[in-house]
Amino acid sequence: ISKLYVVDYNTGNLIWSIKNKNPFNSQLKIFDNKIYAIDLNNVLRCFSLTNGSELWNFKSENTFLKSNKRNSIVIIDNKIYFNNSVGDIISLNANDGSMLWQMPTQSSDIYENAFSLIVSDLVAKGDELFFSNNRNQFYSMSLTNGLINWKQEINSEVRPIIYDNLIFTISNEGYFFILDKFT
């Protein structure tokens, strides 16, 4: 789980492979000839798609206990948005990894219980980022500055679906929720 491989689609021949010190625990995203992935130590790594060399990395908060939930990555307008295992949402410049903003969504006592936090996949629509968690929190956050637009009490770990101005999600208890995107 700590290796990346690039294989020629037509021939199946291995182009390159790399081994990371720690297993990856995120979605893989490809953008602008780069691969982005987060490892179990909450380090977002950027690799060259051409040769696999690490171009840069960004270390976010590390926890002793590791979450089983894979972290989510969204890339929009040359900016990366991702969550770490303690509930922070972080925005970076996709070219050099410089931090644009970071917003914690949990109090400091989460570090004791980080292994039990489960955050849904991040979904971006317009200038907003949407996500929820198993702590009864559903967020709308500004992509520009990370400020919280609104928060609802919905206990959900599933990826929300955005359609027009509506958000659809299902709670961990099995209830179907429809939310207005703006309020």
- Per-residue pLDDT of 133-174, as tens digits, reads 888 999 999 999 999 999 999 999 999 999 999 999 999 999
What confidence tens digit (pLDDT) does each residue in 20-41 have?
A: 988 888 889 999 999 999 998 8
Q: What is the pLDDT of residue 68?
A: 60
Angle at 145 between CA 111 and CA 156, to 5 degrees: 50
- Residue matched to tokens 């500055």: 145
**Does the pLDDT value for residue 109 go beyond 70?**
no
Q: Please choose, from the candidates 87, 64, 73, 66, the residue with its C-alpha nearest in 3D space to the C-alpha of residue 136.
A: 87
Q: What is the pLDDT of residue 2?
A: 83
% of residues, the chain, pLDDT over 70: 90
% of residues, the chain, pLDDT over 90: 69
Q: What is the pLDDT of residue 169?
A: 96
Q: Quick one: which H or E segment has residue 37? A: strand 34-38
Is residue 183 very low, low, confident or very high in pLDDT (cuts 50, 70, 90)? confident
Q: What is the pLDDT of residue 138?
A: 95
* Residues 39 and 2: beta-carbon distance below 8 Å: yes
**List of residues 6+ apart from 6 with CB closer than 8 A:** 14, 15, 16, 17, 49, 52
Q: Which residues of 51-76 are buried (b: 16+ CB within 10 A; e: fewer)?
A: ebeeeeebebbebeebbebebbbbbb
